[in-house]
Amino acid sequence: METPGGAELCFPLLLNTSCRKPQSDGMLINLLLSFISLLTAALNLLVIISISHFRQLHSPTNLLILSLAVSDFLVGLLLMPVEMLLTENCWFLGDHMCSCIIYINFIITSSSVGNMVLISVDRYLAICDPLRYDTRVTLDRTKICVCLCWIYFVFYNCLILMDNLKQLNLHNSCYGECAGFLNHITGSVDFVFTFIGPITVIIVLYIKIFVVAVSQAQAMRFHIAALTVQRKVGVTAKKSEMKAARTLGVVVVVFLICFCPYYSPSFTGEVIEDSSLSSNFQVWLLFFNSCLNPVIYAFFYPWFRKSIKLIVTLKILQPGSCDANIL
Long-range interactions of 319-322: CB distance < 8 A, separation 24+? 321/53, 321/54, 322/53, 322/54, 322/55
Q: Tell me how many domains the chain contains.
A: 1
Whether residue 172 lies inside any domain: the answer is yes
In a domain, 291, yes or no: yes
CA–CA gap between residue 81 and residue 84 (Å, rounded): 5
The amino acid at residue 301 is Y
123 touches 213 (CB < 8 A): no
19 vs 322: CA distance, rounded Å: 53
Report CA dihedral (255, 261, 264, 265) to the nearest 10 degrees: -140
The torsion angles phi and psi of 309, rounded to 5 degrees, stand at -60, -45
Give the domain CATH number at 222. 1.20.1070.10
CB-based contacts of 152: which residues, under 8 Å, 6+ apart? 114
The answer to whether residue 44 is domain-embedded is yes
User: Would you tell me the crossing angle of helices 60-74 and 281-300 to the nearest 10 degrees?
Assistant: 140
With a CB cutoff of 8 Å and minimum separation 6, the contacts of 14 are 175
Instruction: Write the DSSP symbol of residue 55.
Output: G
Mention every residue, 6+ apart, whose C-beta is less than 8 A from residue 271: 181, 182, 183, 184, 187
Residue 2 belongs to some domain of the structure: no
pTM beyond 0.75: yes
31 lies in a domain? yes
Q: What phi, psi does 9 have (nearest 5°)?
A: -95, 155
Is 8 within the bounds of a domain? no
Domain that holds residue 215: 27-323
The answer to whether residue 4 is domain-embedded is no
Residue 167's closest CA among 102, 228, 217, 121?
102
Q: Which residues pair with 274 in a beta bridge?
A: 180
pLDDT tens for each residue of the chain, 327 residues long: 445 444 577 777 666 677 777 666 667 877 888 899 999 999 999 999 999 999 999 999 999 999 999 999 999 999 998 888 776 667 777 778 888 888 898 899 899 889 989 988 998 888 888 888 889 999 999 999 999 999 999 999 988 888 766 666 666 667 777 776 677 777 788 888 888 898 899 888 888 887 877 776 666 666 555 544 444 444 444 555 566 667 767 877 888 888 887 776 655 555 444 443 334 678 888 888 899 888 888 777 888 889 999 999 988 888 888 888 887
Helices 94-128/60-74 angle, 10° precision: 160
Task: Please name which of 110, 85, 71 lies closest in space to residue 276, comparing C-alpha atoms.
Answer: 85
Q: Does residue 15 belong to any structural domain of this protein?
A: no
CA 60 to chain centre: 18
